[in-house]
Amino acid sequence: METARLSVPNISCGHCVMTIKKELSEIEGVAKVEGDPEKKEIVVEWEAPASLEKIKTTLKEINYPATD
């Protein structure tokens, strides 16, 4: 199981976090998604076939791009 903490500047409220959770949870292999609108970050846990690249691509597609 891999874990990443990603900065997502577009998060402004709990609804944003719920949208991200819903979309990322649809990726096969994603086990857990948590978000903090105050810190503007999410924590994602996953295993294959999911990948960090796929997670970041999905975030960009739903207009919540992660910054490094």
Domain architecture of the chain: domains with CATH: 2-61 (3.30.70.100)
pTM: 0.93
pLDDT tens digits for range 2-48: 999 999 999 999 999 999 999 999 999 999 999 999 999 999 999 99
C-beta of residue 44 within 8 angstroms of C-beta of residue 51: no
Q: How high is the pLDDT of residue 47?
A: 98
Q: Three-state SS for 68? A: coil
Q: How high is the pLDDT of residue 38?
A: 96
Give Cβ neighbours of residue 22 (< 8 Å, ≥ 6 apart).
Answer: none
Segment (H or E) for 2:
strand 2-7
Q: Which two three-digit tokens encode residue 28? A: 């096969």
